[in-house]
Structure 1
Amino acid sequence: MKKTLKKMAAAVSAAVMCALPMANAFSASAAEEIRTFRVGYFVDDNSYVKTTSITRTTKKGLTFVARDKMTLTGDFDGKPNGSGGQTYNSENVNWKKNTTYYTNQVLLYDETYKTTYGDVFEHYLVSDTALKLEGKTYTGESANERVKYLAVVVGDVTGAFNTTQAKTFNYDGIKKNDADKVRDMIKKTNGVIWISDFVEAKSNYINFNVPGSQNVKTLRAYMAADVNNNGRVTKEDADLIEAYANGKISDLSVYNKMDDSNVRFALQKL
């Protein structure tokens, strides 16, 4: 794997050098906003996929916050392998299914990042091929086409609903109406939305190949709404979004994996 990463580093060096002026040209004015990205990695038709291997190469300016397992069907297979240079970071993460639990689709894990330079997650990839998604079946055959991802700006729920392109999140700011949208959503589900239930329900088949479909847009919105990334959307998420919109908090990434009770306590202290 180390040899593979070294080859990848050499292969992307030209792209990174081309990206260098862009990285250096990030404006100081944009640095006033801390924007949080969340990238979820999914398996489509999980019953056939045994392992996944995901490699990403990103420009400097994107800060890694956390990587969180979101299912009990498997676990990370060893530690991530990483490398980097003056203008980029590269990392490979492996996953292995370790149960006999079968479901059509599953969210394996997600990654949280933050930046002070704006834009969307894909802007920080060094090239169109800098996010490599690979999978293998139980018999060792390629299952690359079954490994998917979605990237969102945390808190921008309306932007998530309005996004129709696979790699172009339609960011429209984080405002009070995003919090109101979350409250409207959870009213229909007795106050909580379990993201895993939505992903794994056969009645909610998510066609990742149609990024503008209703189920994909809904899943994207749920991911953007789950500020504290506990796998469910609740009133506390709406309250965090509203506090951010009102300027009471400036960094949503610090609430990653904070339980709802602690979120309530933190909000009371504002």
Structure 2
Amino acid sequence: MTYSARARAFAELHQPGTPLVLYNIWDAGSAAALSKAGAQALATGSWSVAAAQGYGDGEDIPLELLLQIATRITATSDLPLTVDFEGGFAQQPEALTQNAQKLVETGAVGINFEDQIIGGSGLYGVEEQSRRVAAMRAANADYFINARTDLFLKEPDTEKHASLVDQALERAEAYAKAGASGFFVPGLTDATLIARITAGTPLPINVMMRGGMSLSGMAEAGVARASYGPGPYAKAMKQLSEAFAALT
């Protein structure tokens, strides 16, 4: 299957009301485990990949090392892979395009691309982030760009999330016009508000599963993709520590 065909097949897994479940991995070993367990696709989490290599989140891991990890995953699994690419490891459009091209060369058919300013504060303005999304799209016409907004993660008071929905939908519209394939709203957990997001944009919506969120509830809200962020890595490391502690 050609790269374009694999990318399209991955995109087709995003069906509103039938969420694609992505239990985030961090290396080829965890990819193999999920492949055997019946996963439809693979997705890295930036925090998990970095932590597994002794780095902090926020593009602390060297880009070349991240690319090596992605290459090992695609070399050892036939499942489509999407990579958490954070802010693209660059600010300027030309560098973003070049970095995205390098990721495409690993065989990954998708990315997460966020609008928070890595190493800074706040979010890129809508117009600037739209230009950045367009730069990522310039790398390849087919791969899946999951445009992430950090509006909700940046606001710890969930009572204020309702007031951010219109801003989120404005960003979704702008990112879609710039070439985004999907829209990711981590930090938003209220099913009613999520349903407003899914109804307000034609882009397939990705949520991060946290707390009391359920797959059935997200399906009812029209979600097309449910991912788990750093949770799987944290659970695996906790189990590892507990297994060792039980020996002593």
Length-normalised TM-score, structure 1 = 0.29
Q: Higher RCO, 1 or 2 (CA under 8 Å, sep at least 6)?
A: 2
In terms of fraction of residues, the more helix-rich structure is 2
Which has more radius of gyration?
1
Length-normalised TM-score, structure 2 = 0.31
